[in-house]
């Protein structure tokens, strides 16, 4: 694999931005990481259900304003407090 310094400047910038994003995500508190996972679950659930696959979206307790409820369509959910 080529060294980063030999890559085109755009590629090097993208790699640096990716590393910075990973560091920022790693520094987030655990509850915020869980909220991000729930948001991703909500985004992918309609796609999975349209393909006939089960989708589970965790329900967060005590923070309903941050993550609005999403219809679950009969597939159970897990409560995270």
CA 12 to chain CA centroid, Å, is: 25
Running DSSP on this structure, what letter comes out for residue 61?
A: S
Q: Does 67 have pLDDT greater than 60?
A: no
Domains: count for the chain: 1
3-state secondary structure of 62: coil
Residue count (the chain): 81
Residue 45, judged by CB atoms within 10 A of its CB (0-12, 13-18, 19+), counts as buried
Residue 17's domain comprises 4-80
- At 16-45, the pLDDT tens digits run 999 999 999 999 999 999 999 999 999 999
| pLDDT the model gives residue 63 | 55
Q: Give the global pTM.
A: 0.60
Q: What is the DSSP string of 24-45?
A: HHHHS-HHHHHHHHHHHHHHHH
**pLDDT value for 75:** 45
């Amino acid at each position: 694999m080529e060294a980063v310094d030999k890559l085109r400047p755009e590629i090097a910038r993208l790699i640096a931005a990716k590393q910075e994003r990973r560091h920022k995500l790693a520094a987030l508190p655990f509850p915020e990481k869980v909220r991000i996972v729930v948001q991703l679950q909500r985004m992918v659930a309609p796609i999975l259900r349209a393909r006939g696959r089960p989708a589970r979206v965790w329900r967060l307790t005590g923070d309903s304003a941050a993550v609005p409820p999403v219809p679950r369509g009969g597939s159970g959910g897990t409560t995270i407090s």
